[in-house]
Amino acid sequence: MNKGEETREMIIKRSAELFNTLGYNGCSLNEIMEATQLKKGGIYNHFKNKDDIALAAFEYSYSEVLKRFKHYLSKESTSYNKILAIIEVFYSFGANPVVSGGCPIFNTAIDATDVHPELRKRAQDGINTLVKYVEIKIEEGKIEGEFRNSAKAPEFALLLVSTLEGALMISRVNDNTKALRTAADLMKTYLKQNILK
């Protein structure tokens, strides 16, 4: 990686934390300059504008989220264990976030809804991809005989992701993982009682 690529990567990583903590509107170019120790020209050598930085920062944050999911999921072979792994990944986000400030998908979805349509779209795609993945695992588990044929994959997937995202937000507000642990345990119980054969 050459010096220019290293500088661009450093801007993205430091901006990702700022955007995830402060939000799109709350993060100014001056704060990015302070975090990177670069002048405006040094930043604009690599990015057209703040929007360009925000999009690159979200892509970086999202890729870090995906890495965490892939790491946990790669260790599991059954649909049931993969769903348990997803639950534990969410818990890990509370105890050890991939980017300071909480879940970048949730934060971006809330923050960018009205002010940045492209960021909103990317956050929407990220959350919908996760919901769809859970749906697919439920359907695969039904085919493999792990899960009940009556299990409603779309409903469970939405329940799982929305419960854990909400608990992640509550845990962040309260600065502890209690709500997240409770939600994770409840979702495991729900999975055993209502989905597992």
What would the two tokens of residue 27 be?
Answer: 């993060």
Statement: residue 119 has pLDDT above 80? yes
Domain assignment present for 44: no
32 lies in a domain? no
Specify if 33 maps to a domain.
no
Long-range contacts of 35-40 (CB under 8 A, 24+ apart): 36/10, 36/11, 38/7, 38/11
Please give the tally of structural domains in the chain. 1
Query: To the nearest whole number, what is the mean pLDDT of the chain?
Result: 95
Instruction: Report whether pLDDT(128) > 80.
Output: yes
- List, for residues 14-66, the tens digit of each pLDDT value: 999 999 999 998 999 999 999 999 999 999 999 999 999 999 999 999 999 99
Q: What CATH number is attached to the domain comprising 124? A: 1.10.357.10
Q: What is the pTM of this model?
A: 0.91
Q: Report pLDDT digits (tens) over 85-114.
A: 999 999 999 989 999 888 899 889 888 777
Instruction: Quote the domain boundaries for residue 113.
Output: 58-195
Query: 104-113, 121-130, 164-173: which range is least confident on average?
Result: 104-113
Q: How far apart are CA 193 and CA 160, in angstroms?
A: 14
